[in-house]
């Protein structure tokens, strides 16, 4: 795709792409801690409440492939708005129900809406931004999500203190609607094969054609997301295992989240300038080392340092999954392919915490951390093999070096 002045294009996209992401992630960051509490208030057990929270991830899994088909049929802007409207309605319904079944269904719908919104946004940005600026655009997108997620819990705490649970749900619904309306300001995509020629291929035919990419680089993405999701799950478990209270654990999480936000744009600039491997490999090595160091930490300070160290690795890799997906997405069937691509990542998000649960049933929690460290380092080796194969900047760099 040609882009004669990509810096102008990026400025035009800043508000309608990054604005909705910040708005929605602030709202969801505010309401997410309340889902389990809402379930408990309705009579759920702790186990049931955890399952209901997990329905968000399950909804994302179920929504990934249909999201690609919807974006292909109706276009990104309409799909973005529809996803935000449905999410807002589900949030309001979740706040007003007195039924665990309805709450569960609404949480599942929220997850599906998030999948549709994420796919449409990813597909649009993949096509709108020139390849030379792609990683910076995607890393900034990942960074805005982190910023919103960092701010959201503080907003939620304030609203609960001053008003109620219902006010927090209403705030999240309002941010979803505002994000959807702001998405309508997206500029129309330039004419291309994907827009001038209607596609009649099925989603399964697109995925089958590109199965080698999904079976190689897609597995690498799954391993990245396993490391990321496991990091979020195991740090509070280890803190509790060492006797830390909820306040200390929350403080560790907050500081680590702040560190996580520091490197998203530098990471994107490194990927655009030197290649994707210069971020993918260090990020996985650092996170893997963090898992291996975690069993050696026994105090709040030590756990906090490990969490921040892992946050650096995760932060510099902001946008790597989006960038790699945009790199390998075909012109024909882009949206259907990205649905399969995002499914790989969301499977990793479910598999990581599940692996912790399985290992810790038989072995101490420290063994789960060590297993995750080794899996993450295996992921680093896997990415070292396959990322260069699909790096779009590899050939120009090789020619420049001759």
Show me where the domains of the chain are located. 1-188, 202-402
Give the burial string for 317-348 (b: 16+ CB within 10 Å, else e).
bbbbbbbbbbbbbeeebbbbbbbbbbbbbbbb
Q: What does the pLDDT profile of the chain (402 residues) look like in tens digits?
A: 334 444 446 677 778 888 899 999 999 888 887 887 888 888 887 677 878 888 888 899 899 889 988 888 888 889 999 999 999 999 999 989 889 999 999 999 999 999 999 999 998 888 888 878 888 889 988 888 888 878 888 888 888 878 878 888 999 999 999 999 998 888 877 654 444 444 567 778 888 889 999 999 999 999 999 999 888 888 888 888 888 876 777 778 778 888 888 888 888 899 988 889 999 999 999 999 999 999 999 898 999 999 999 999 998 998 899 999 999 988 888 889 999 999 998 898 888 888 887 887 888 888 989 999 999 999 999 999 999 998 776 655 554 444
**Residue-level pLDDT at 81:** 93
Task: Tally the residues of the chain.
Answer: 402
Identify the CA nearest to 104 among candidates 115, 113, 93: 93
How buried is 241 (Cβ within 10 angstroms: 0-12 exposed, 13-18 middle, 19+ buried)? middle
Q: Do domains 1-188 and 202-402 have the same CATH topology?
A: yes
Torsion of CA 283, 284, 288, 289, to 10 degrees: -40
CATH no., domain 1-188: 1.20.1250.20
First to last CA, the chain: 26
What pLDDT was estimated at residue 92? 94
**How far is it, in rounded angstroms, from Cα 159 to Cα 162?**
5
Residue 55: predicted pLDDT:
86
- Structure confidence at residue 281 (pLDDT): 95
Integer Cα distance of 316 and 309 in angstroms? 11
d(CA 285, CA 316): 12
Position 5 scores a pLDDT of 42
User: 202-402 in CATH: which number?
Assistant: 1.20.1250.20
Q: Could you tell me the two tokens for 133?
A: 């600026």
- Vertex 54: Cα angle to 87 and 329 (nearest 5): 65
Output the pTM of the full model: 0.85
pLDDT at residue 350, as a whole number:
85
C-alpha R_g of the chain: 21
Q: Please tell me the distance from the alpha carbon of residue 303 to that of residue 117, in angstroms, as a whole number.
A: 35
> Cα(332)–Cα(198) distance, rounded to whole angstroms?
10
How far apart are the C-alpha atoms of 350 and 347, rounded to whole Å? 5
């Amino acid at each position: 795709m040609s882009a004669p002045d990509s810096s102008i294009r990026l400025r035009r996209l800043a508000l309608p792409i990054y604005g909705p992401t910040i708005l929605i992630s602030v709202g969801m960051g505010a309401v997410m801690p309340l889902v389990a509490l809402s379930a408990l208030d309705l009579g759920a057990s702790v186990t049931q409440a955890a399952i209901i929270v997990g329905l968000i991830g399950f909804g994302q899994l179920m929504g990934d492939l249909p999201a690609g088909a919807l974006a292909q049929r109706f276009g990104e802007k309409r799909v973005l708005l529809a996803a935000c409207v449905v999410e807002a309605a589900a949030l309001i319904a979740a706040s007003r129900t007195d039924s665990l079944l309805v709450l569960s269904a609404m949480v599942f719908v929220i997850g599906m809406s998030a999948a549709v919104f994420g796919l449409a946004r990813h597909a649009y940005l993949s096509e709108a931004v020139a390849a030379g600026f792609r990683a910076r655009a995607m890393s900034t997108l990942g960074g805005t999500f982190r910023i919103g997620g960092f701010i959201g819990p503080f907003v939620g705490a304030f609203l609960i203190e001053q008003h109620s649970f219902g006010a927090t749900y209403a705030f999240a619904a309002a941010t979803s609607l505002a994000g959807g309306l702001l998405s309508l300001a997206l500029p129309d995509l330039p004419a291309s094969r994907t827009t001038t020629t209607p596609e009649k291929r099925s989603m399964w035919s697109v995925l089958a054609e590109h199965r080698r990419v999904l079976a190689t680089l897609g597995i690498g993405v799954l391993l990245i997301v396993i490391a990321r999701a496991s990091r979020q799950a195991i740090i509070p478990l280890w803190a509790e295992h060492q006797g830390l209270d909820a306040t200390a654990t929350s403080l560790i999480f907050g500081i680590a989240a702040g560190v996580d936000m520091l490197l998203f744009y530098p990471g994107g600039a490194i990927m655009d300038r030197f290649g994707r491997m210069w971020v993918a490999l260090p990020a996985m090595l650092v996170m893997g080392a963090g898992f291996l160091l975690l069993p050696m930490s026994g105090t709040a300070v030590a756990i906090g340092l490990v969490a921040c160290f892992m946050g650096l690795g995760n932060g510099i890799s902001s946008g790597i999954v989006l960038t790699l997906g945009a790199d390998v997405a075909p012109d024909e069937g882009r949206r259907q392919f990205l649905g399969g691509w995002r499914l790989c990542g969301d499977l990793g998000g479910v598999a990581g915490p599940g692996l912790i649960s399985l290992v810790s049933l038989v072995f101490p929690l420290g063994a789960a951390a060590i297993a995750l460290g080794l899996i993450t380092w295996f992921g680093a080796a896997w990415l070292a093999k396959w990322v260069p194969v699909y790096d779009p900047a590899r050939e120009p760099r090789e020619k420049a070096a001759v």
